[in-house]
Structure formats: C-alpha cells, structure tokens
Amino acid sequence: MCHVIVTCRSMLWTLLSIVVAFAELIAFMSADWLIGKAKPVSSEDIDNRTGGSQEPYHPTLGIYGRCTRISHMQVSRRDTLCGPYAENFNEIASGFWQATAIFLAVGIMILCAVAFVSVFTMCVQSVMKKSIFNVCGLLQGIAGLFLILGLMLYPAGWGCQKAISYCGHYASAYKLGDCSLGWAFYTAIGGTGLTFICAVFSAQAEIATSSDKVQEEIEEGKNLICLL
C-alpha cells in the first residue's frame, strides 16, 4: 500500500532539487556567459530607430550561443538576434568549451533525473531496500562534481578566437580582457553550490520521512501523513 508522506524537510529538498535543475539548465542554454566590450551604435541605426538609445550595446557570448545586434532594423525591440553560433558540437569555439558543455550536460541530466524522481518520493521512499533520498543525494553530489569540472574548464577557453572577437586581444585563458561575466555564469556557480546543499539535505529528508512519528501514523493505518 502506498503511504503518502509529506514533511517540511522532504518538501524543501524536493523544491530545491527542482529549482537547481532548472537554474543549471537555463544557465547552460543562455548566451549571457560573457558580456562583450561595448560597440558603438552607428548614426544610420540611430536614424532608423525611433526613440532608440544612442548608448553603445554589449554583445553576449555563451558556450554555444551568442546575442548580437543586427544593423538596419526598423523596430528597436527586434534589433538583437540571439541563437547558436555553432551548428554542431565540433563548431563550439574552444576545446575547453566543448569539455565544459559535456561536463555541464552530464551534470544537468543527472539533476533533471533527480528532480523528476524527487516528485515521487512522497509516495515511494525506498526501492529494493535502498532509500531513494540517499541515492538521489549521492547522484546530486556526483552531478555537482561534473558541474565544478565544467566551470573550472570554461575560463580556459577565453583565449579562443571567438572570445577574442568579443573581448579584445587582451583576452586569454583565465583572463577576461574587455569582457565581463554575465548572469548565466554566476547562476551556474550558485546552482552548483545549491546542488551540494541538496545532496547534504537529502539525508535530512530521509530522517524526516522515516522518523518514529511517521512509523506510528503508518501503524495507525493512515495513508496520508503530513508532518511539520
């Protein structure tokens, strides 16, 4: 018989697991890893854009995508084009970024799998006498290691030609040049930290759902158990 067990700690772990998976996925897909050096807006573009700003704009570059401004656009809201610059894996700008993509993709797939499984831990807490919380916590720890490896390799690719075209000739491995880091990079770092917090917190979720009070309510025949 399925016993639905809901505790504050187990629900918090589930929510954090889902948030971390989505945060890492969004960061990975974003083009806002590097914010390029400012590029002036041409006088012709200013004339074509009604109410447009004359401030220079900053193109952005991601692991496999980029955002840049297309000239001669009549509508200012549509003058920034975002999309992948690499049509396949081999066209990613740097070998280090290819490695980063692999490590991050593996870590994110593990996190997404854990997030999916975490939804069902309210009803199923163990499989083959193994705690799902403990197994998921272990997987989150492994995913965190993959994410760390990817984030450590990413700055080594700043010396590639693609990055130099955005960041200037002073850009090199682990040197930003004229670029600055975008929100996607910081989101990936924050998500990595939260991944390890989730891995540790999974043990608390296991303790909460297997406590003596939960066992007492199961023995009383309750199918829905909610504990603060």
- Phi, psi angle pair for 43, to nearest 5°: -65, -30
Q: How confident is the model at residue 120 (pLDDT cuts 50, 70, 90)?
A: confident
Check whether 48 has a pLDDT greater than 60. Answer: no
- The confidence score (pLDDT) of residue 154 equals 95
Cβ atoms of 18 and 194 within 8 Å: the answer is: no
Check whether 25 has a pLDDT greater than 90. Answer: yes
Residue 24: name the closest of 135, 115, 136, 92 by CA: 115
The structure tokens listed for 196 are 């390890």
Q: Is 33 helix (H, G, I), strand (E, B) or coil?
A: coil
pLDDT tens for residues 58-110? 889 999 999 887 665 444 444 678 888 888 899 998 999 999 999 999 999 99
CA 146 vs CA 80, 101, 120, 136: distances in Å: 33, 10, 25, 15
pTM: predicted TM-score of the whole model, two decimal places: 0.84
Taking all residues of the chain, what is their mean pLDDT, rounded to a whole number?
Answer: 84
- The confidence score (pLDDT) of residue 19 equals 96
Can you name the residues that pair with 224 across neighbouring β-strands? Answer: 4
- Identify the helix (H) or strand (E) that includes residue 185: helix 183-209
Cβ atoms of 153 and 135 within 8 Å: the answer is: no
